[in-house]
Amino acid sequence: MPKNVFPDFIELIKTKGKLFGPVKQKSKYSFEEISDVQDLDFDYQRTVLGVKKFLTPPRYKTLSFDKEGTKDIIDEPETNIVIGVHPCDIHAIKILDRLFLGNIIDPYYASKRENLTIIGHSCLPDDKCLCQSTGTDMVEDGFDLFLTELEEYYLVWVGSDKGLALTIAAGDLLSEDISDESIREYVRWQQKRSSMFKAVMPSFKYMADIITLNYDSEIWEQFGEKCLSCGTCSLVCPTCNCFNVDDKILMNAEEGFRERMLDSCTLPYYSMVAGDHDFRPDRTTRLKLYYTHKLKEYIGRWGQPGCVGCGRCVTYCPVDINVITVSEALFGEVCDTKEVCE
């Protein structure tokens, strides 16, 4: 797709559903509804919230009730299209899909997912992007369309029937004739991008073992001491999906609703049961759950970490507890004390 027809492409997409894309808001980016193609800004590394904003919103209603009874609140079919999604965030959606659309399908997630069309967009890393280390810098599926931005063209990958339908609708805006020069340019671009990653962590693939070896390490206490239990890491993590459920009654005391809200295992009372027994009363054990679940247990269960290397925790943790600092500290611990490195 030649770049000069991109605005036409956006206009076409907008006729198919409600369009969202990356928009600059002060120093941060966010997926917002797009009315004007000028609002789109693809020169970004990460939005504050990933695509989970659409799939497991921070707070949403699942049930309403009144004196007559209860009623499920499941989204009606509609089309939301989000454009500009980076490979790491597409991998994150695949991880959420696996959880919510696995053996037991979550109807609330399923309806939101069914309503969402995903148009990916290529990106260049900054010093916080570690997707190369997590193996999520490239993406082959999980999107409907994927746009790679070259000098004068977009290379458009079709990832689903929904995506194919969009390309058919786009008609002449897209061309199937790809010149050899475009292919060479694409390869050169990929090589350039691959060489730009600064946050390369060779230790990452051993993290499951390293965490097991370091389960009783003092490092956890040190991080626990620093942790503010604010839950920001979970809020911004594109694969953190834990939710709490709460019922609210309106002021008329006759009707109300049940809602889900994002929760975080780093928050106090996350593991408290009836009778006030708390299985994880301190910050250290909660932080340990966060990192063992994300970096060790996901590998055990699914063969890959629950981290997609988006760098959000690196950007937003106010006290620098993130996948890089934790992994490096644990890896260092193994190297220093157990002499297993090299």
Partner 1 sequence: MIDGKKSKIENTYKSHPVEILGIKDLTSDTRYFKVRFMDEEMKKQFVYKPGQFVIFSIPGLGEATFSISSPPTRRDFIEFGIRRVGSFTEAYFKLKEGDTFEMRGPYGNGFDMESLQGRDLIIIAGGLGAVPLRSALLYAEDRREDFNQVFFLNGARSPEDMLFREDFKAMAARGILDTRLSVDEDPTGEWPYEVGFVTALIPKLAEKINPENTTALICGPPIMYKFVIQELLKINVPKDQILMTLERRMKCGQGHCGHCAIGGRYTCLDGPIFTYYDVQHIKELI
Which chain residues interact with partner 1 by CB under 8 A? Answer: 62-63, 65, 70, 72, 74, 77, 97, 99-111, 113-114, 142, 144, 160-162, 165, 215-216, 241-247, 249, 256, 258, 263, 265, 270-277, 279-280, 285, 288-289, 292-293, 296-298, 300-301
Q: Which is nearer to partner 1, 53 or 162 (CB)?
A: 162
Q: Which is nearer to partner 1, 106 or 137 (CB)?
A: 106
Q: Which is nearer to partner 1, 35 or 104 (CB)?
A: 104
Q: Which is nearer to partner 1, 14 or 293 (CB)?
A: 293
Q: In the complex, what is the shortest distance from the CB of residue 125 to partner 1, in angstroms, rounded to a whole number?
A: 27
Q: In the complex, what is the shortest distance from the CB of residue 141 to partner 1, in angstroms, rounded to a whole number?
A: 8
Q: In the complex, what is the shortest distance from the CB of residue 143 to partner 1, in angstroms, rounded to a whole number?
A: 9
Asked if 244 and 234 count as a contact pair (C-beta separation under 8 A), the reply is no
Q: Which is nearer to partner 1, 199 or 207 (CB)?
A: 207
Q: In the complex, what is the shortest distance from the CB of residue 113 to partner 1, in angstroms, rounded to a whole number?
A: 6
- Give buried/exposed letters for 293-326 (b at 16+ CB in 10 A, else e): ebbbbbbeeeebbbbbbbbbbbbbbeeebbbbbb
Which two three-digit tokens encode residue 304?
């890959």
Q: Which is nearer to partner 1, 28 or 301 (CB)?
A: 301
> Which stretches within 74-216 are classed as H helix?
87-100, 107-114, 131-134, 161-170, 180-195, 207-213
User: Scanning the structure block, which residue is given the tokens 């600059």?
Assistant: 24
Q: In the complex, what is the shortest distance from the CB of residue 100 to partner 1, in angstroms, rounded to a whole number?
A: 6
User: Hey, CA dihedral for 34, 174, 55, 234, is it positive or negative?
Assistant: negative
Residue type for 105, please?
I
Q: Which is nearer to partner 1, 285 or 325 (CB)?
A: 285
CA-to-CA distance for 84 and 129, rounded, in angstroms? 17
Q: In the complex, what is the shortest distance from the CB of residue 107 to partner 1, in angstroms, rounded to a whole number?
A: 5
Q: In the complex, what is the shortest distance from the CB of residue 261 to partner 1, in angstroms, rounded to a whole number?
A: 10
CA-to-CA distance for 196 and 137, rounded, in angstroms? 12
